[in-house]
Structure formats: structure tokens, C-alpha cells
Amino acid sequence: MSDDSATASTIGYIGLGNMGAPMATRLLERPGTLVVCDTRPEATQPFTEAGALVAATPAEVAARATVISVTVLDDAQVRDVVVGPDGILPTARPGTVIAVHSTISDVTATELAETCRAKGVALVDAPVSGGAPGARQGRLAVMVGGSDEAFEAVREPFGYFAELVVHAGPVGAGTRMKLARNLLHFVSFTAACEAGRLAEAADLDVRALGKVVRHTDAITGGAGAIMLRDTTATVAPDDPWFSILSHVRNLGEKDLALALDLGDRFDVDLPLAARALTGLGPGLGVGAGTVADQSSHQKETA
């Protein structure tokens, strides 16, 4: 493949696994050329049949495409794909943008970006949220860390597999945002396990509880429903948010206290619920409420 064949309408995609394949499939709908690359011939075959070009190496992808998405396993594979002997950088034209969708270390992202910058190539970290179903539906969220110019270069093609494309900040910011998002995700999963243990001990149908949770989270937005302020600082009493968040705290503390009482009666340890009871109000920026204060006092005097 000759360097002269690279055009702005050509998109490259490297890594056609569980996430990469549906994301790249969405790009088949985009006008222009799609060049794909994977170490497994069976992964590239559906793309060949759909009219995409197949490259044997990342270097060959870079000879054709000026925006290249990378979705591989880990930091080591990302490094190999970007700066390895058969990687993107040796053949990439100045102005090329490499978008790493893999969740890697933000340090790896910034180091690779600096190496690429020396050759006039931009690297953005662009991890995604929404899983394979979101990729198939074109409904992913992409968190992009990079310059304004690089963000503008990727925003249009990303729109084929993402419903939300956010410019998180400079290189590394996309990964940091993904880690903060997944902290909430997996802490919530742990809390769901805790709730399941309580339900089971109380002789409830755990699967029915799951249906209720999914139904109501779809209505309320789940934990993200309170993430509306631009700061986590303490809320002043005269701030309009104070009454809203105080109301959330009061409801939460009441229900958490009742859940902890239920756990005590069924001998179920609920460490996340106990932590939430004391941490909800301060976390919301409005301080602990009456219920949390009473609970703390009871523990001190017990």
C-alpha cells in the first residue's frame, strides 16, 4: 500500500474483538473507505464480504487511513500496535489521528501521545462505555482525551458507533473519566450483590428485585441522576441545590437506616450500606442529616 493512497475519508480499525467488531461494523455505514486489521482471518472475513479493505499489519492501515481506531486487549498490545516494528507510527502521515479505545493506563496514553507528537501524529485516548450492545446499536459514550483539533477529527466518525462523544480534556483525560465512570459501575455492582444478600435472607425473590431495579433505574437514571453539579464542593444553604440534595439525603438516610435494621434482624452484614449512611450527606455536599447523626451517636454509646 502506498502512502499516496491515504485520504481523509478513509478510516482504519485495528482489533475486531467483542467491542471492536461491532464498532467497526457501524463504520461500514459511513461514506468512504474502511480498512480493518486483526490477527485472526476469521475476524476480518465479514468485513471483506461487506466491502471493507483488509490490511495485514497496523503499518498497512496507517498507509491508507488518516483516522485509526484501536481496540486491543491491554497496554502492551496498544504499545505494539502504535509504535511496534509493524505498528502505525512508522508509516503514519503527519496529521494522522490514532484513537485508542482500549481502557489502558492514562500514563501509557500520555507517553504514547508524546512519542507520536514528535512525528506530527496525534494520539487520543478514547475509551468507551456502553458495552457490546451499545456498540451494535450505535449508542456508546466515548470519552476523548486530546487536543481540540484531534477531537474535531474523530467526532464525525465516532458518531457512527456512539450516541455521546465527550471531549474530556487533554490526552489522558479520557481514560481518567472512564476509570471514574467504572468506579461507580463496579461499586454499584458490589452494592447490588449486598442488596441481593439482604433480599435472599429476607426470603425475597432476588430475580424479581433485579427486575424492579432495572425498571426504576431506567426511569430515574440511577446513580447518574445526581451527577448534575459542576463541583463536589460543599453546598451553601442559600444555593438552590441545597434543598434538593438535602431532600435526597433525608430520603436516602431513612431508607438506609431501615435497610441496616433489616440486615441486623436477619444477621446480614451490609458494609456498603453502613458506609453510605454516614457518607451520603457529606458526599452530596450538604452534611450528615439527623438519621446519620443518630446512628453515629448510637454506635458511640453502644
Distance of CA 50 to the CA centre of its chain: 29
Q: How far apart are CA 215 and CA 235, in angstroms?
A: 31
Q: Which residue type is seen at 44?
A: T
Specify whether 299 is catalytic. no
**DSSP line for 39-79:** S-HHHHHHHHHTT-EE-SSHHHHHHHEEEEEE--SSHHHHH
Distance of CA 17 to the CA centre of its chain: 17
Q: How far apart are CA 269 and CA 238, in angstroms?
A: 38
E strand segments, the chain: 7-14, 33-37, 53-54, 65-70, 97-100, 122-125, 128-129, 140-145, 162-169
Block residue for cell numbers 474502511 = 34
Q: How many CA atoms lie within 13 A of 82 on its CB side?
A: 34
Q: How far apart are CA 174 and CA 113, in angstroms?
A: 13
SS3 state at 147: coil
User: Could you tell me whether strands 140-145 and 128-129 are parallel, antiparallel, or unpaired per DSSP bridges?
Assistant: antiparallel
Dihedral through CA 72, CA 78, CA 81, CA 84, nearest 10? -150
Q: Considering 178, 211, 254, 299, which one is annotated as catalytic?
A: 178
Locate 45 and state its grid cell.
472475513
Strand partners for 124: 99
Q: How far apart are CA 29 and CA 282, in angstroms?
A: 48
Sign of CA dihedral 88, 21, 38, 49: negative
Q: Which residues are catalytic?
A: 178
